[in-house]
């Protein structure tokens, strides 16, 4: 099936889409961060040309260049600077650990990594930089900026006036960015998104939800996460909204205090962070928000309840995406919000569901569309891309799709256990634990069991969690006994990735180690 994309939308590159946005919305303030020195469209374009030319002098056309920076104006300028001069940004997840980062650099063929001394010092990443230096050259943007002179500024002035004459011409099908999947279920994969993949996803969202150019988008998510890059940077810039960049989603109190100060209209984040913000926010901190968008992980009932009761019914819209789809696949609409679903599928996308043996409801979701990647980086050859068969991306998600195009996530293929011959959704079991202890964080994994094939293990930060309480709730609510974990591991903190998503790799290892002990 397919929902049509507006035929007036034309294919364009990331930089040309920025130039077109300036023409459409005027030379307004469009980008800001905590330093509170906003840039206009022209200011951003000039800065991108000036910095980009400096980076171009030390790199080759089409070279993949690493960006290891938090969400900030500097990151956006660097990203567009690479595009202006025909280089390909590779967004590095600085929370992924030495092994994954080195693997990512090797997989993408990155020879140079752009970063900043202030960030490395504040984030205490000096040791990580030492480890990276063995496989790639570190380029300090602080030092690069010191070399910018009068001639560079005159160049920027001219380029800002006639950007299409100065920028390296690229095609919409050319690479726009290399990102790496979060690795929550294994080693990160290199995702190559084209220029048009990214731009089309912004156009899809804008066709689905009418965005007012007078609004302010507040982005606390890292740009190494596709949600942070497309939703928090490209979407607002290309649709005329000011994009406010904040360097860390962990600063709950600072973020909630900043929201009314910068007159934020839309907040993007994950359930983990939104739950924290809702707990520390004052009654007026969310007053300027039109709605909040949650993605990357399931939104807990408790988070919905917090927003409904504490913030005058502020709409929390759940969405669904994948790095491979640039990333927005579906999102609820402010006027058509169906809590429990992840909203309607984006216009221009095709989908199909394939049945999964042992799982009676829904099917395995496959996607194809203008926002779906060409393929993964080959792990053996950085210059090679492994294309998708027929252009279809296998999401690995089991979903239900109704006649209105609303998607309900039932679980991941990898997130089902086979217990006594029956398929049990680990996501549903987590929902059971959340119903019993809504304020706590839970994760469920399966380990081998000699008697029933697999056994469920609940990892939770609830100190008094016990099997009897879970079994009692399951009985009184008609949940099957198979869905009750027979083992509980109580931890001080449930491991999460830098994006806020549950780190199932680490949790699986914890459960296996506990079993072996």
Given its phi and psi angles, is residue 32 left (phi above 0), alpha (psi -120 to 50 degrees) or beta? beta
Tokens describing residue 506: 């680490």
Q: Domains (ranges, CATH) in the chain?
A: 14-408 (3.40.50.12780), 420-516 (3.30.300.30)
**Helix 195-208 with 14-25: angle, nearest 10 deg:** 40
Are the CB atoms for 427 and 457 separated by under 8 Å? no
Residues 6+ apart with CB under 8 A from 333: 208, 209, 317, 343, 344
Q: What's the residue count for the chain?
A: 517
* Interatomic CA distance for residues 157 and 405, integer angstroms: 47
Cα-atom radius of gyration of the chain, to the nearest Å?
A: 23
- pLDDT digit of tens for each residue in the chain (517 aa)? 557 888 888 899 999 999 999 999 999 999 999 999 999 999 999 999 999 999 999 999 999 999 999 999 999 999 999 999 999 999 999 988 888 888 899 999 999 999 999 999 999 999 999 999 989 999 999 999 999 999 999 999 999 899 999 999 999 999 999 999 865 445 668 999 999 999 999 999 999 999 999 999 999 999 998 999 999 999 999 999 999 999 999 899 999 999 999 999 999 898 888 988 988 988 889 999 999 999 877 788 888 888 888 887 788 999 999 899 999 999 999 999 888 899 999 999 999 998 887 777 888 999 999 999 988 998 788 888 888 989 999 998 889 988 888 899 887 766 666 665 566 777 778 778 888 888 888 888 888 776 666 788 889 988 888 888 888 887 777 666 777 887 888 998 888 876 667 877 788 788 877 776 6
* Interatomic CA distance for residues 58 and 274, integer angstroms: 41
| pTM (predicted TM-score) | 0.84
* Interatomic CA distance for residues 390 and 386, integer angstroms: 12
Straight-line distance from the first to the last Cα atom of the chain, in angstroms, rounded to the nearest whole number: 50
Tokens describing residue 137: 């050259």
């Amino acid at each position: 099936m397919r929902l049509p994309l507006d035929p007036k939308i034309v294919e364009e590159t990331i930089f040309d889409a920025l130039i077109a946005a300036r023409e459409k919305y005027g030379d307004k303030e469009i980008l800001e961060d905590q330093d509170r020195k906003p840039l206009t469209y022209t200011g951003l374009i000039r800065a991108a040309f000036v910095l980009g030319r400096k980076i171009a002098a030390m790199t080759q056309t089409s070279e993949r260049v690493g960006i290891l920076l938090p969400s900030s104006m500097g990151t956006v300028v660097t990203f567009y600077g690479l595009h202006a001069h025909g280089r390909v940004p590779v967004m590095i997840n600085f929370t992924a650990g030495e092994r994954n980062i080195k693997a990512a650099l090797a997989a993408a063929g990155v020879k140079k990594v752009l970063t900043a001394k202030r960030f490395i010092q504040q984030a205490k990443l000096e040791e990580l930089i030492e480890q990276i230096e063995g496989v790639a050259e570190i380029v300090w943007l602080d030092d690069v900026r010191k070399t910018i002179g009068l001639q560079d500024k005159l160049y920027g002035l001219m380029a800002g006036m006639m950007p299409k004459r100065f920028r390296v011409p690229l095609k919409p099908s050319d690479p726009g960015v290399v990102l790496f999947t979060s690795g929550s279920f294994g080693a990160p994969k290199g995702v190559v998104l084209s220029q048009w993949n990214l731009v089309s996803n912004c156009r899809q969202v804008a066709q689905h939800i009418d965005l007012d150019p007078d609004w302010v988008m507040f982005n606390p998510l890292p740009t190494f996460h596709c949600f942070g890059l497309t939703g928090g940077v490209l979407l607002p810039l290309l649709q005329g909204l000011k994009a406010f960049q904040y360097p860390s989603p962990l600063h709950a109190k600072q973020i909630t205090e900043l929201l009314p100060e910068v007159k934020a209209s839309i907040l993007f984040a994950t359930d983990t962070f939104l739950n924290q913000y809702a707990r520390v926010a004052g009654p007026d901190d969310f007053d300027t928000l039109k709605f909040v968008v949650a993605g990357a992980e399931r939104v807990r009932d408790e988070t919905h309840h917090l927003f409904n009761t504490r913030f005058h019914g502020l709409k929390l819209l759940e969405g669904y995406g994948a790095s491979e789809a640039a990333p927005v696949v579906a999102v609820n609409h402010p006027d058509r919000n169906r809590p429990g679903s992840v909203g309607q599928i984006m216009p221009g996308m095709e989908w199909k569901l394939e049945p999964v043996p042992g799982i009676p409801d829904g099917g395995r979701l496959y996607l194809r569309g203008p926002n779906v990647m060409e393929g993964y980086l080959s792990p053996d050859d950085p210059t090679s891309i492994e294309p998708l068969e027929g252009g279809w991306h296998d999401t690995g998600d089991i979903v239900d799709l109704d006649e209105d195009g609303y998607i309900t996530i039932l679980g991941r293929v990898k997130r089902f256990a086979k217990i006594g011959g029956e398929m049990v959704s680990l996501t549903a079991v987590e929902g059971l634990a959340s119903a019993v202890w809504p304020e706590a964080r839970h994760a469920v994994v399966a380990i081998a069991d000699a008697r029933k094939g697999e056994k469920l293990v609940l990892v939770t930060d609830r100190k008094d969690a016990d099997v009897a309480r879970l079994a009692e709730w399951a009985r009184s609510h008609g949940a099957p006994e198979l869905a009750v974990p027979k083992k509980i591991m109580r931890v001080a903190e449930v491991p999460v990735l830098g994006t806020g998503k549950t780190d199932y790799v680490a949790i699986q290892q914890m459960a296996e180690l506990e079993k072996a002990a």
